Structure 1
Amino acid sequence: MKKQLLIFSIFLLASFNSFAHYMWIETNSIGKVGQSQEVKVYFGEYTYGVTEKVKGDAFHKVQNFTLWVIDAQGNKSALKTSPKENFYVAKFSPKNKGTYTVVLDNNKIDVIDYTKYDFGIFKTHYHSVAKVQVGKKSNATATVNANGITVKDVSETKKTIKLQVLFKNKALAKNEVKVFVADLWTKTLKTDENGYVSFDMPWDTKYIVEITNKEEVPGTYNQKDYEFIWHCVTYTIL
C-alpha cells in the first residue's frame, strides 16, 4: 500500500512539474549584416536541463506559437520554423546594423484544470524575447505584447542588464523576477515602482529571465471556462 501511495505521489509531482514548463528562445546575441542568424524555440524546464521533444505530447500542446523578428526601424517579419528533435528552428539575415528583437507569442493553449493542486482552472499565455545586436549602437528592444506580459531590455552596459517589465503596455511594479543560470543557480529580484529591474552578469554563460503574472479575469477559450490567465515571459541572454 505504501509503495502504491509513493508511486501515485511521484506521478502527481511529475504531472504538476509539467505545468511548470516554459517556452524560451535561444539565439546568438551578436549578429552580422547579411549573415544567417539561427533562432531556436524550446519548451521545458531549463532550471533542470529538461527540453521536451517536438513530437512529444507536451510540446504538441504548445505548438501553435508565432515567431517574429523586429528590426531597429520597427519593421516586423514573421519567421518560418522547422521542427527538430527537441526544438524548432528558424533563420533570418539582418539587412542593416542596429538592435533586432526576436519575439515568440503563444496565446493559443487549451485551458488546464489544476484544482487538484490548489492552483485552479486557467488559461496560459506564453511570451518570449531575445535580443540580437548588429553593430555597436545598441537600442532598447521592441515590445509587442499588448495583451500580456513582456520585457524590454534598456541596458547601457554589457555587464549589467537593465530590464523593464510591462503588462498590457503598462509598467509592472513590485513583481517577482527570476534569473536562471546553469547548475541550478537562481536569483529572485523584484521590479521597482516603474517596472525596472537590474542585475549583473559575472559569468560568461547563458542567462534566462522568467517573469509571471496572474491575471484574475475569468473567461472562456475553446468552449472551456477558466478562472484566470497565467502570463509568462522569458528573456534569454547568450
Structure 2
Amino acid sequence: MHLTSIARLGALAAALLGAATVCGNAGAHQIWLEQKGQAAHVYFGEFGDNLREASPGQLDKFRIQSATWIAPSGSKPLQANKTAGAFVLNGKVAAGESIIVEENAYPSWEEKKDGKATRTVWIPAARLVADGKAQAPALALDLVPTGKPGQFQVSYKGKPLAEAKVNAVVQSGWGKEAWSDAQGLVSFPLPWKGTYVLEVQHTDKTAGQRGAEHYDKAMYVTTLSLVQPQGVAPLPAGPALPPSKDHD
C-alpha cells in the first residue's frame, strides 16, 4: 500500500472515531438544495444514494410554488424554472442567508386497513445555508443551525420539536443519526469536507384540509443543506442511480 493511502486511511479512522456509519438508504425520497454557481437547484430523490429524479418522470409531480430567499435585511420570493434534472431558482445564498423551499401540492394518497381509508398528504421542504450562523425557523417543519459548530435545532410550527430523528449524510453514503432533545437541539460531528444534507421527518395525525382536499394525516420531510469547508477529503459518490421509470 502506498504511503499516501496509509495516511488517508489514518485520517479517515481518526475522523470516524466514535461515529456511526450507515449506508444512505433512506426509506422515502426527499427534496434538497444545492448551490450551483449563481443559482440554487432543487433536487428530488435521495442525496446519499446519488439518485436524482428527472423530467419526464417523477420530477413532474412537483410545482415548487413556494421558494424564498431570506437574509437579515429581509426576504424575497424566488422563481423556480424546471429543467430535465432539477428546479433552478433565481437566487443564491451568502453568509447568514438561507433559501427555503416547500412543496404543498404533491399528490396525496389513500391507504386502506381493516376497511378504513386514510388519506395522507406529503409535504417535503428544504433549506440551504452558506454557513453555520444561527437562523430562525420559517418552514412548518424546520431544521436550522444554531451558531454552534455541528449543532442544529428542529422545530414544528415555530416550537422546538423533541425526540425527532435527524439523519446527516454525505454523497458517498456515509451517514449518522441523532435524536433531538427537549429544546429540539441535535448535534453531529461533521468529519468530511464538502456537502452535507440533514433530514428530519415528522407525522402530524391531526386531520386537516388542503385547498378543497380533506386529509387524515400530514407527513413532513425537511432537509438542510450545508457545505463544510474543512475536514477529511470526501470519498467519491457512488454511481448515479437511474431515475424512476414510472410516472404514476
What per-residue deviation string (whole Å, max 9, x for no partner) do you get for residues 178-226 of structure 1? 1112232221110011000111111112211010001011234455442
Q: Which runs of structure 1 show a deviation greater than 6 angstroms over 4 or more consecutive aligned residues?
A: none
Q: 1:18 to 1:130 in 2, by over 3 A?
A: closer
Cα distance in 1 between the residues matched to 2:169 and 2:80: 26
**1:121 aligned partner, one-letter code:** R
- Paired residues, what number? 201
Q: Which secondary structure does the structure 1 equivalent of 2:181 belong to?
A: coil
8 Å CA contact retained: 1:211, 1:233: yes
1:192 to 2:191 alignment: no
TM-score, structure 1 as length reference:
0.75
Cα distance in 1 between the residues matched to 2:26 and 2:95: 38
1:109 Cα deviation after fit: 2.1
- In the other structure, the counterpart of 1:47 is 48
1:26 to 2:55 alignment: no
Q: 1:114 to 1:20 in 2, by over 3 A?
A: farther
- In the other structure, the counterpart of 2:99 is 102
1:126 Cα deviation after fit: 1.6
Cα distance in 1 between the residues matched to 2:218 and 2:102: 15
Q: Which secondary structure does the structure 1 equivalent of 2:154 belong to?
A: strand
Q: 1:81 to 1:186 in 2, by over 3 A?
A: same
8 Å CA contact retained: 1:111, 1:221: no
- Tell which has more relative contact order, 1 or 2 (C-alpha 8 A, sep 6+): 2
- In the other structure, the counterpart of 1:166 is 155
- In the other structure, the counterpart of 1:151 is 143
8 Å CA contact retained: 2:66, 2:103: yes
Cα distance in 2 between the residues matched to 1:54 and 1:132: 28
- In the other structure, the counterpart of 1:92 is 91
Query: Of Structure 1 and Structure 2, which has the larger fraction of its residues in strand?
Result: 1
TM-score, structure 2 as length reference:
0.72
1:140 to 2:137 alignment: no
What per-residue deviation string (whole Å, max 9, x for no partner) do you get for residues 142-181 of structure 1? 3212xx2001211334xxx210100010000111111112
- In the other structure, the counterpart of 1:69 is 69
Cα distance in 2 between the residues matched to 1:219 and 1:156: 36
- In the other structure, the counterpart of 1:31 is none
Cα distance in 2 between the residues matched to 1:183 and 1:114: 34
RMSD over aligned Cα atoms: 2.7
8 Å CA contact retained: 1:110, 1:221: no
Percent identity among equivalent residues? 22
Cα distance in 2 between the residues matched to 1:104 and 1:143: 13
Gaps of at least 5 residues in structure 1 are 1-16, 29-35
Cα distance in 1 between the residues matched to 2:181 and 2:219: 21
8 Å CA contact retained: 2:65, 2:80: no
1:49 Cα deviation after fit: 1.4
Cα distance in 2 between the residues matched to 1:64 and 1:121: 22
Q: 1:47 to 1:93 in 2, by over 3 A?
A: closer
Q: Which secondary structure does the structure 2 equivalent of 1:209 belong to?
A: strand
8 Å CA contact retained: 2:31, 2:45: yes
What per-residue deviation string (whole Å, max 9, x for no partner) do you get for residues 119-162 of structure 1? 953111122111125xxxx73123212xx2001211334xxx21
8 Å CA contact retained: 1:54, 1:85: yes
- In the other structure, the counterpart of 1:126 is 124
Cα distance in 1 between the residues matched to 2:44 and 2:194: 20
Q: 1:224 to 1:92 in 2, by over 3 A?
A: closer
